[in-house]
Structure 1
Amino acid sequence: MVLYSIKSYLKFLWNSKNQHGVHSPFVYNLVTKCFYDKTNYEEYSILKSNHKSANYPISSKQVNLLFRVVQYLQPKSLLEIGSSLESATSVFSLGHKNAIISSQNSSSEFYDLIYFGGNSSKKEILEYFEMLLPTSINNTIWIVNAIHGSKDMEEAWDIIKNHPKVTVTIDTFYLGFVFFRSEQKKEHFVIRA
C-alpha cells in the first residue's frame, strides 16, 4: 500500500501543474484565488484544534483547502457522505456559516457541494456516484477524498472523471474535485495544491 502510494505520488508530481498550466478561466480563478490563497484565516486555528481532537481521515492542509473551497464557492447546500460522517461538517460550517449541511441523503434534493469523505471503496464510491448523479445541477461540485489511496480508488476516479455528465475534474492527489458545468468543455487538471 505504501509503495503503491509512493508510485502514485511520483506519477502525480510528474503530471501536475500549477496555475500557469491552466487555460480554463474558471479553474484558473479557483486555483489562484482559492487553492493558492495564502491568507492566514483565523478559522484555521479553530480547524487545527478540531483536527487534533477529531479523527479526520485527511491532513490539516487538506482541511484548510476544504475550508477555502467552501468559503470561495459559497455553496448553499452541502452533503457529506462516507465512512467519516460529520468530520468535515465543522469545516464547511466555518467556510459558509449560512449553508445547509446534511449528512443524510434525500434523492429529491439538489446539492451545490457533495463531499465523499472517509476511505471508501471503489464499489461504494461508484454506488454513491450513480445514486447522487440526479441531484447534481450545473455548477455542482463534488469532492472525493483519497482518490489515490488505492488502485481501486484510482479506478473509481477514472470512471468518475470520464463520465459524460462530468465536465471538469481537478486532481490534487489527496482530493478530487468534480464539476458539472454545461458551459465548459470537458477537461481534466492535475494541480499541485
Structure 2
Amino acid sequence: MKRDIIFYRVRSYLKYLLKSRHRKGYGIHSPFVFYLVRELFGEEHPFYAFKKIDAAKRMLLKNNMTIGPETLGAPSVTGDKRQKVKHFVKQGSLPAKYGELIFRLVNYFGAKNILELGTGTGLSTLWLALPDSRARVTTIEGSRQLSDFARRLFELVEVNNVRIINDAFNRVLPSLLDTTDHLDFVFFDGDHRREATLHYFELCLKKAHNDTVFVFDDIHWSPDMEAAWETILQHPSITVSMDLYRIGIIFFRKECTRQHYVVRF
C-alpha cells in the first residue's frame, strides 16, 4: 500500500474522530435517527447467523488459495496484483461490527430485494442474505475467480437466496435494473472510482423508494471515494445520511428532515 494513501487515511480517520458524535443518540432530534443510533446501532443481541458468518470467516482466514490479478474496477483495499484468500479476507473483508449492523438494517427494514455491487469472497453477501431466507440477493462480481470462490462459499454455508452474476457493473447493471421493480437495499462496494460510484448510484436511485437503504463501503478509502461520498450527500432525494467512517448510509424517507450525521461507531 502506498505511503501517501496510508497518511491520507490516518488524517481522514482523525478528522472523523473530531467530528463524530451521537454515539448514544444524544443531541439527535429526529425520532427515526434517534432510534437507529440508540437502539439498532447499539443492539447487542447475537443472532444465530453471526456465529455462522464468523465460522465462515475463520475458515477463509486459513485458506492459502491465490486470487489472481483480474479486476474490473479500482481495487478496494490493496494494489497487490495477487494474494492469498486469507490475506484478501484479513485486509479487505468488512469488519464484523459493520457486517452485523448491515444485517440488523436489512432485518429491521424487512428488505426483500437486495443488490450488492462487489461480491469479493462472498463474506459481505452473507450479512445481506442471512437475515431472511425469503429475501432475494443479487450480487455482481467482475472477477471470475472471486465469483467462483463466492459461489462455493454460498453452497458450503447453505445459502440459497443469492444470485451471483460474473460481469462488469457497467455492462450488466442497466439491463438488470430494467427487469427490477424496486430496490430495498443496495450495498455499493468493489469499484472505488468517483465517476463509477456516482454512475452506479444514479442508476440504482431510479429504483429506490421511501424505505430504501443505500450503504457505501470505504467512503474514506481515498480522495476519489471521499469526493464521491460528498457529491452523493448533495443529492436532493436524500433526506438522512450517516457517516460511520468505514461505511456511509443514506435514506430517502420523505417524512424526515434533511440532515447529515457523523456518528461515532
TM normalised by structure 2 equals 0.68
Aligned to 1:15: 19
Q: Is the 8 A contact 1:82 1:120 kept in 2?
A: no
Provide the rounded CA distance (Å) in 2 between the counterparts of 1:83 and 1:75.
18
Pair 1:169-2:254 in alignment: no
Whether 1:107 and 2:193 are equivalent positions in the alignment is no
Report whether the alignment pairs 1:25 with 2:31. yes
Q: For the residues of structure 2 that align with 1:22 and 1:50, how far apart are their CA atoms?
A: 37
Matches within 5 A, 1:1-193: 1-17=5-21, 18=23, 19-52=25-58, 53=60, 55=89, 57-82=93-118, 84=120, 86-103=122-139, 105=173, 106-108=176-178, 109=180, 110-118=182-190, 120-193=192-265
> Which amino acid in 2 is paired with 1:42?
Y
Query: What runs of 5+ residues in structure 1 fail to find an aligned partner?
Result: none
Rounded to whole Å, the distance in 2 between the matches of 1:127 and 1:82 is: 15
Q: What is the CA–CA distance in structure 1 between the aligned matches of 2:55 and 2:104, rounded to whole Å?
A: 17
Q: 5+ residue gaps in structure 2?
A: 61-84, 141-172
Task: For residue 85 of structure 1, report the CA deviation from its aligned partner.
Answer: 7.4
> Is the 1:141–1:178 contact (alpha carbons within 8 Å) kept by the matching residues of 2?
yes
**Residues 91-100 or 166-175, more deviating:** 91-100
Structure 2 letter corresponding to 1:4: Y
Query: Matched residues in 1 for 2:52 and 2:214: separation?
Result: 24
Question: How many angstroms apart in 2 are the aligned matches of 1:173 and 1:59?
Answer: 12
Moved more, 152-161 or 127-136: 127-136
In 1, Cα distance between equivalents of 2:210 and 2:9? 33
How big is the alpha-carbon RMSD for the aligned residues of Structure 1 and Structure 2?
Answer: 1.8
* Cα displacement (A) at 1:132: 1.4
Q: Encode CA deviations 1:90-129: one digit per residue, 9 max, x unaligned.
A: 1112122221111254223210100002352112211101
Residues 141, 85 of structure 1: alpha-carbon distance in 2 compared, 3 angstrom cutoff: farther
Cα deviation code 1:112-156 (max 9, x no counterpart): 100002352112211101211111111111000000111111110
Identity between Structure 1 and Structure 2 (%): 32
Tell me the SS of whatever aligns to 1:9.
Answer: helix
The alpha carbon displacement at 1:59 in A equals 1.4
Q: 1:122 to 1:83 in 2, by over 3 A?
A: farther
**Equivalent residue of 2:53, what SS?**
helix
Q: Is the 8 A contact 1:70 1:95 kept in 2?
A: yes
Q: TM-score, normalised by structure 1?
A: 0.92
Point out the structure with max Rg over C-alpha.
2
Counterpart residue identity of residue 79, structure 1:
L
Structure 2 counterpart of 1:192, one-letter code: R
2:183, 2:228 → 1: CA distance? 21
Count of aligned positions? 193
SS in 1 for 2:206: helix
